[in-house]
Chains A and B, each alone.
Chain A
Amino acid sequence: MALLSVEGLRTQFATGAGTVRAVDGVSFAIERGEVLGLVGESGCGKSVTSLSIMRLVPPPGQIVAGRIRLEGEDLLDKDAEAMRRVRGARIAMVFQEPMTSLNPVFTIGDQIAAAVLAHEGGRRRAAWDRAVEMLDQVQVPSPGERARDYPHQLSGGLRQRAMIALALAPGPQLLIADEPTTALDVTIQAQILDLLRRLQAERGMAVLLITHDLGVVAELCHRVAIIYAGRIVEMAPVARIFEEPLHPYTRGLLRCLPHPSRFGQPLSSIEGAPPDLRGADAGCPFAPRCPLAIESCRRHEPALAERRPGHFVACPVAVV
């Protein structure tokens, strides 16, 4: 049994200007100890997918269909208290903005200790010691002193380490990392990625890594799911995505990366813009921008099909 399996997830936002279908039938699974990358551009539904798994979609967002199974238990059936016990303890989350994701008026140590106390109870003193130990594990120098610091006293990199310590303190089986390095300097990014890789290996923890950065995917992931307009369009082991991408959108994304052989030439881009997610029209969402689109692409939405062992594509035209 997969650790987490998401089946046909649909999350919508009812707005005055129509219903936005932010996540529109997403299915994937994560095995124990696996790192799955969820890749897409801004507004494609990556973050809403992760918030749906945590059941923290902000109103007016609503999960309207699908199953989210953690070790077989459907998270969508759980009441508020049962779901709270899942959050942090079994699935934890690291957010993009280390500047705003930590509470400015409590010390780092207090915040980590609170996460421990919320799940394990026990004495405050013991929880504090765990907080210091966690800061040490994420390689924060002088963890005992830093635990007494407030977030504004730490650099962005240290704050993100503290954020990771907070997420991992209750010992989750699955870590959802939503753009964990996007807000950081490039050198700090590399350090944080190293840290995530080491912690993942040491703890045998599964990671759902949400990013728009294919470089980060190559560093860390075992498998990749490419998401476009709220739908997964391609999913494969990481090497296959880079060596032999099948979906025209994935190919377009890879062509956008700078490459030594194209030095001096302008970077390429994908023509057009992502579709309006309020639309209800049938057909492949990428069809209007797709160089390979044929008539049937505009009429029938392609299903995700296994075209090669472990390599799923939602495109009938893709050249295998």
Chain B
Amino acid sequence: MVGYVGRRLLQSLGVLLGVSVIVFGLLHLTGDPTRLLLPLEAREEDVRQLRALLGLDDPLWVQYGRFLARAVRGDFGLSFKHQVPALALIFQTLPATLQLTAAGLGLALVVAVPAGILSALKRNSLLDALCSVGVLLGQAMPVYWLGLLLIMVFAVGLGWFPAAGRDGWTSIVLPATALGAFSMARIARMARSGMLEVLAQDYVRTARAAGIRTFVVTYKYALKNAAIPLVTIIGLEFGILLGGAVITETIFAWPGVGRLAVDAIFSRDYPLVQAIVAVLATLFVVINLVIDLVYTYLDPRIVYVRSAR
């Protein structure tokens, strides 16, 4: 078990190193950034000065080494636009994004997992049909359209919730719903098919033949097995939602990392874009690591299979 965790930690570090190369490359993606940073009428001398200031005259690997050494200390430089450390800006906005993502995913889970399980248990019933329609709608609606729809109906029309901003708990309801709808549909579908598959397994029949109560068979024996593919999806969804927050935050004027990223990109604020990508990628890697560790609890076969190699 300890060996497995250690191995997964090392792998995660490898992934983060790869991420650092990509983040570093972002600055050079559009060629020499100095031309983009300076106004068109800038003199050749100004360009040279800025190149020297940014260290762009050094060989690429020296630049990368410098970038990496700073990045591990959390130093991505000053935001061009705001003139404060990029990381500080992110840490100001990250709680709002995490809150929105957690609310979206939480809402998705609370609705989707029971709905999926009930659909599987009452297969081909009216409830199952209703859930299928819900899944179809959830997966077919783009988040920006659903967002606008929610604003029109519940904020403008009924006036139940604020249309934008982050002020009190009511303000999170609409963005979380918009953000979570797609995940909700996906998770419900996975929960249903996972349960159906598990309920048809021989060991479920064994448990029933031994006189185990139906409730225990369904919610302990079957669910723990069905949870294995579900956890994968939930982990991936969390990452997708973090990214998806960019659109939702823009629509609902939610002061999170997503909106910060959009602003940073439009104002060519390279250090800030780099820092955001690095932080989100790190979060993603950490979530994946956590998911892998949850697996070992859910499925005892995983650790042994991997250590046998």
Pick from A86, A89, A101, A118: contact of B206, CB below 8 A. Answer: A101
Proximity bits, A100-116, B CB within 8 Å = 1, else 0: 11111110000100110
CA distance A111 to B206 in the complex (A): 10
Q: A102-B203, A105-B224, A118-B213 are in contact. Are A87 and B208 (CB under 8 A)?
A: yes
Interface: A166 (CB within 8 A): yes
| Chain B residues in 8 Å Cβ range of A114 | 207, 210, 212, 216
Residues of B in contact (CB 8 Å), total: 24
Name which residue of chain A comes closest to B299, CB basis.
A105
Interface: B221 (CB within 8 A): yes
Contacting pair B206 A87 (CB below 8 A):
no
Q: List 30 A-B contacts (CB under 8 A).
A: A56-B205, A56-B209, A58-B200, A80-B214, A87-B209, A87-B210, A92-B210, A93-B209, A95-B202, A95-B206, A100-B201, A100-B202, A100-B203, A101-B203, A101-B206, A102-B203, A104-B225, A104-B299, A105-B224, A105-B228, A105-B299, A106-B221, A106-B224, A111-B207, A114-B207, A114-B210, A114-B216, A118-B213, A119-B211, A163-B206
CA distance A101 to B225 in the complex (A): 14
Q: Which residues of B contact A (CB under 8 A)?
A: 200-203, 205-214, 216, 221, 224-225, 228, 298-301, 304
| Chain A residues in 8 Å Cβ range of B205 | 56, 58, 95, 101
CA distance A58 to B211 in the complex (A): 16
A320–chain B nearest beta-carbon distance, Å: 40
Q: A100-B203, A104-B203 are in contact. Are A167 and B210 (CB under 8 A)?
A: yes
Pick from A92, A95, A105: contact of B300, CB below 8 A. Answer: A105
A313–chain B nearest beta-carbon distance, Å: 32
Tell me the residues in window 112-133 of chain A with beta carbons closer than 8 Å to chain B beta carbons. Answer: 114-115, 118-119
CA distance A100 to B225 in the complex (A): 13
Contacting pair A150 B300 (CB below 8 A):
yes
Among A114, A115, A152, A170, max chain B CB count under 10 A is at A114
Interface: A85 (CB within 8 A): yes
Q: Which residues of A contact B (CB under 8 A)?
A: 54, 56, 58, 80, 84-89, 92-93, 95, 97, 100-106, 111, 114-115, 118-119, 150, 152-153, 163, 166-167, 170
7 further A-B contacts with Cβ under 8 Å, apart from A84-B213, A114-B216, A150-B300, are A95-B202, A100-B201, A102-B203, A102-B206, A103-B221, A163-B206, A166-B206
Contacting pair B298 A105 (CB below 8 A):
yes
| Chain A residues in 8 Å Cβ range of B209 | 54, 56, 87-88, 92-93, 95, 167
| Chain A residues in 8 Å Cβ range of B228 | 105
| Chain A residues in 8 Å Cβ range of B211 | 84-89, 115, 118-119, 170
B112–chain A nearest beta-carbon distance, Å: 22
CA distance A103 to B226 in the complex (A): 12
CA distance A95 to B200 in the complex (A): 15
Contacting pair A118 B203 (CB below 8 A):
no
Closest 6 CB pairs of A and B: A88-B211, A87-B211, A88-B210, A115-B210, A100-B202, A103-B203
CA distance A203 to B209 in the complex (A): 20
| Chain B residues in 8 Å Cβ range of A80 | 214
Among B212, B216, B301, max chain A CB count under 10 A is at B212
B298–chain A nearest beta-carbon distance, Å: 6
Contacting pair A56 B225 (CB below 8 A):
no
| Chain B residues in 8 Å Cβ range of A150 | 300-301
| Chain B residues in 8 Å Cβ range of A87 | 208-211
